[in-house]
Structure formats: C-alpha cells, structure tokens
Amino acid sequence: MTDENHKTDNSQKPEDSKLSPIEETSSVTHHSIVFKGEEIQYTVTTGTIVLKEEDVDEGEKQKASIFYIAYTKDADSPDRPVTFSFNGGPGSSSVWLHLGLLGPKRVLMDDEGLPIGPPHQLTNNEYTLLDQTDLVFIDPVSTGYSRTVPKEKPEQFHTVKRDIESVGDFIRIWTTRNKRWNCPKFLIGESYGTTRAAGLAGYLQRRHGMYLNGIMFVSSILNFITAQFDEGNDLPHILFLPTYTASAWYHNKLSDDLQEDLETAVQEAREFALGDYTHALMKGNSLEKEEKDRIITQLARLTGLSERYIEGTNLRINIHRFCKELLREEGFTVGRFDSRFKGIDKDTVGEAHELDPSYAVILGPYTACMYDYLRRDLEYETDLPYEILKSLYKTWTFEDYQNHYVNTAKDLRQGFQLHPGLKVIVCNGYYDLATPFLATEYTFNHIPLPQAQQGNIKMTYYRAGHMMYLHKPSLEKLSEDLHAFIQEAI
C-alpha cells in the first residue's frame, strides 16, 4: 500500500528508478555469565553496518551490509580492550571462533571434540575472553547474514584486496561509532582469517592510522606457496611432513621408539624435513639410487606409509593422498582439518577421501546452535540463510597476485614497520593438515624483521587440529595462552 506522499510511478522504468537505501538493523540484549566465580554482566548488539563509498556523481553509494555480533562488558572503562574476530574459508562466517573459543557461549562437544546430540546445545564457556576484552565477530560479505546491497555484485568483494579493505572499513566504522579509538585493539583470525588479519595489519595502519596492540593467529596461512601441491613446487612436501608424522603417531602407525613421545617424533620429522629430505628433493632426477632408497626408508618410518607407496609417489606425498592412504587397510580415511578424526568412503581404492570427517562432525552442531542462538537469545530475526561456510575459494580472485602466490606476510611486516611494538601469537595444532605447523614456522621465519620484532612473535602448539579448541584440554591451554598474550600486549 502507498499513501499520498509515497505513490508508485508506474510510468517509470524499473531500471531507471533509484533504489531505496538499505536500512541498518540492530538487536540489543543483556546477559550475564559467571566466570571464575565472578559474575560478568554484558550487552550483545547484533546487527548490520552498511558500507558505503564516495561517488563523484551520486555522493555516498551503498555497497554492502556487514553482519556482526558485538559483546561489551557492562559498566566498564571506555578504554577496555576490544578484539575483532573472523574466520576464514574464504567464505566462512565467524561462527567457529565465536561459539568454539571466544564467546561466552560455546557448542557443547565431548572432551575429544565429538558432537553431543542432536539435539545440539550451547553451554556457558568458562574459557571465554570476555572477562578481558570486548569481542566483535565480523561476517565478511557473502558469509553469515552479510550481503551486498541490490544491484551490487558480491564478486567485487571476493578478492584478497577488497576483502581486507571491507573488513578494515567495518572495523573503522564500528570503532568510531562506539568511541573506541583510544582503547587497546586486537585482531584474531583463523585459517584464511589469518591471511586477512596479516593484510589488515598493514591496511588499518596505512589507510586509517589505526595501530593494533596485537594479532592472534589461529591455524595460519599467510604465504600460499607453502600449501600448493603444484608440480615443480617441492616446498609443501617438506613442510607437511612433520604433520604426517603427528597424524601417524596419533593412529599408532609408527615404530615403537617413535610412539613413545609425540614431540620427540615431531622433532625428528622436522629435522629430517629441513635437512636430508630438502636436499634430496632439490636434486630432483639427479638423486642417486642409494640416497633415494635411504630417503624412502626414512619417509616410511616417519609417515607410517609403505616404502613401496612412497617410491610410487616419487618421494612426494600429497596431502589428499595421505588422508586416504594412512588408514586405507583398515577401511578409514583421516581428517584434513583434524587428522584425529576417521571417516569412511564408498570404497578403499580411491586416490583422495570423499569427505573430510573432521568437518562433518562440527557442521551440524555449530549450524543448529548458531541459528537457535541468534533468534532465541540474541533476538535477531531474519529469514535469510545464515551462510556458515560458503565455498568461495574457486571463484576467489587474486588480482594483485597474478603469476605469484598470495603472501600477506609482507603486510604483517609493514605492520611491524609502522608499529614496532606490535605483538603476535601464532597457535598451531599438531594434527592440522590444512595449515600445518612447519609451514607456519617457515612463513614466520622468513619475514625479514629485526631481532627485536622477531621476539614479539610467540608460537604455541596443541594436541589437536585446525580448530584446536574442539579438544577440551587444548581449549583450556589455548584460552590460558591468549589471556596471557592480551595481558602482555596491553
């Protein structure tokens, strides 16, 4: 229906009519949680912020609506720290860090990370960071409830550069509106979210003059050459090896002496990978048979795979093949996100697993809990689908990285240049075959920084996978490490 002041002009062509501005949405709710014997009262603001760009002809032009969930502790100092959080993909919402590690509620799983239910449920998170920092969870464009406005193509945000810029611009707007420019600020990203976080370290400081106290990297990938199993690129074969060893150790596939201690086995694999194995792969076809046989024997010892299989791979074990091969004789595959988890395929003769079992165990619980939490507790109502993890990787464009690999480690270096006091913590899972820990070590060891700044980077390790917080003992340790990091960075 229309009234006198809002009549529809049917003579005007739809394509000529100017679209009405998209309205921002907001729901504010109040809650409390008991943390270490102390009650914390907090406010949750759930809603959207519309990103705009200046247009010479049209003035401000709306581009996208970014969905977020912000937790702020009540009756606290305005200079309280704030942490901006996002996950990866590209194409992932912020649900994993939100309901797995950081927020005051977490998805209830058993101690090993297996789901309880259905029905699934949330529980109070005794490991939340809300006691120490306010939390803002950001869903990049096309994830969660974030969308482009009508007539704007979402693909424009599906690039390394525009993704970083849009998340950075959201952070600027939220910080300005909430009068938080002079409080300590942190970023935490997981997986591709670490790619984004490293890019933001440069962008926020260069473009907006926003200096960060610290960045928390969970399961990092900054330099993509470390994970691309392309013909002619031997680096991933080297850097994945210690995680193969850890995975084989977990499934009791190593010799008795290596099975005695995980860290000892991992260290032997690390030294071999960076030493004799690297030298052998660098020789390529000039590698002599005697040395090749010795390398095959050692690879079999460190991976639990047969010498015959390793010889057939030409000493180069692809990640997807490993997930299929390690437990092939038992009829199982192992997870890429977390190799502790086992799965089954339609047969045992394939080259790669059909499904990542470590993703299958979390998708249902986190999806159900997120939908229920948003409507029931946070009172945010929309009929849009909440895009938990929308695969954008195949359509993601790397326009600034043509003919070379994505590497936002250089942006992190620029962040250190602008702010030498920047602190970084890098959290690694031993059983993470998506972003293996030696690849992360390699990346951070190759950022050209002075000794003082190198000392600002801390590495931590957990007996779990990509989402190490699924494993309750690792969740407890990770929470302790992040609390200590924030305190030190402030």
Based on the fold, state whether residues 276 and 207 are members of the same structural domain: no
Based on the fold, state whether residues 265 and 410 are members of the same structural domain: no
Based on the fold, state whether residues 39 and 154 are members of the same structural domain: yes
The CA-atom distances, in angstroms, between 118 and each of 115, 122, 470 are 8, 12, 17
Based on the fold, state whether residues 435 and 373 are members of the same structural domain: yes
Q: What does the pLDDT read at residue 12?
A: 38
Q: Is residue 1 part of a domain?
A: no
Based on the fold, state whether residues 71 and 52 are members of the same structural domain: yes
Based on the fold, state whether residues 141 and 193 are members of the same structural domain: yes
Based on the fold, state whether residues 109 and 150 are members of the same structural domain: yes
Q: What does the pLDDT read at residue 58?
A: 64
Beta partners for 371?
none
**What CATH number should be reported for the domain holding residue 51?**
3.40.50.1820
Based on the fold, state whether residues 293 and 428 are members of the same structural domain: no
Are 134 and 83 in contact, with CB atoms under 8 Å apart?
A: yes
Residue 318 has pLDDT above 50, yes or no: yes
Residue 428 has pLDDT above 80, yes or no: yes
Neighbours of 484 (CB within 10 A): 13
Q: What does the pLDDT read at residue 20?
A: 78
Q: What are phi and psi of 230, to 5 degrees?
A: -95, 150
Based on the fold, state whether residues 47 and 116 are members of the same structural domain: yes
Based on the fold, state whether residues 87 and 177 are members of the same structural domain: yes
Per-residue model confidence as pLDDT tens digits over 39-59: 999 999 999 999 998 775 666
Q: What does the pLDDT read at residue 56?
A: 55
- How many domains, the chain? 2
| Model confidence band, residue 8 (pLDDT cutoffs 50, 70, 90) | very low
Of 355, 375, 391, the domain-final residue: 355
Residue 66 has pLDDT above 90, yes or no: yes
Residue 142 CA, chain-centre distance (Å), reads: 16
Length of the chain: 490
| Model confidence band, residue 15 (pLDDT cutoffs 50, 70, 90) | very low
Token readout for 455 is 């000392």
Per-residue model confidence as pLDDT tens digits over 454-474: 999 999 999 999 999 999 999
Residue 223 has pLDDT above 50, yes or no: yes
- Show the domain range for 153: 24-225+363-489
Q: What are phi and psi of 105, to 5 degrees?
A: -125, 145
Q: Is residue 196 part of a domain?
A: yes
Q: What is the mean pLDDT of the chain?
A: 93
Q: What does the pLDDT read at residue 441?
A: 98
Of 328, 355, 382, the domain-final residue: 355
Are 130 and 98 in contact, with CB atoms under 8 Å apart?
A: no
Q: Is residue 7 part of a domain?
A: no
Of 307, 327, 355, the domain-final residue: 355
Share of the chain above pLDDT 90, in %: 87
Q: Is residue 374 part of a domain?
A: yes
Residue 108 CA, chain-centre distance (Å), reads: 20
Based on the fold, state whether residues 219 and 234 are members of the same structural domain: no
Based on the fold, state whether residues 218 and 260 are members of the same structural domain: no
Q: Is residue 445 part of a domain?
A: yes
Residue 436 CA, chain-centre distance (Å), reads: 13
The span from the CA of 66 to the CA of 190, in Å, is 19
Specify the pTM: 0.93
Per-residue model confidence as pLDDT tens digits over 278-317: 999 999 999 999 999 999 999 999 999 999 999 999 999 9
Q: What does the pLDDT read at residue 101?
A: 98
Q: What does the pLDDT read at residue 54?
A: 79
Nearest to 203 by CA among 415, 54, 400, 398: 415
Q: Is residue 10 part of a domain?
A: no
Least confident segment among 118-127, 141-150, 380-389, 397-406: 397-406
Are 148 and 141 in contact, with CB atoms under 8 Å apart?
A: yes
Residue 358 CA, chain-centre distance (Å), reads: 15
Neighbours of 184 (CB within 10 A): 18
Label each residue of the chain as H, E or C.
CCCCCCCCCCCCCHHHCCCCCCCCCEEEEEEEEEECCEEEEEEEEEEEEEEEEEECCCEEEEEEEEEEEEEEECCCCCCCCEEEEECCCCCECCHHHHHHHHCCEEECECCCCCECCCCCCEEECCCCCCCCCEEEEEECCCCECCEECCCCCHHHHCEHHHHHHHHHHHHHHHHHHCCCCCCCEEEEEEEHHHHHHHHHHHHHHHHHCCCCCEEEEEEECCEHHHCCCCCCCCHHHHHHHHHHHHHHHHCCCCCHHHHCCHHHHHHHHHHHHHHHHHHHHHHHHHCCHHHHHHHHHHHHHHHCCCHHHHHHCCCCCCHHHHHHHCCHHHCCEECCCCCCCEECCCCCCCCCCCCCHHHHHHHHHHHHHHHHHHHHHCCCCCCCCCECECCCHHHCECHHHCCCCCECHHHHHHHHHHCCCCEEEEEEECCCCCCCHHHHHHHHHCCCCCHHHHCCEEEEEECCCCCHHHCHHHHHHHHHHHHHHHHHHC
Neighbours of 432 (CB within 10 A): 30
Q: Is residue 3 part of a domain?
A: no
| Model confidence band, residue 401 (pLDDT cutoffs 50, 70, 90) | confident
The span from the CA of 407 to the CA of 404, in Å, is 9
Beta partners for 27?
46
Share of the chain above pLDDT 70, in %: 95
Q: Is residue 120 part of a domain?
A: yes
| Model confidence band, residue 21 (pLDDT cutoffs 50, 70, 90) | confident
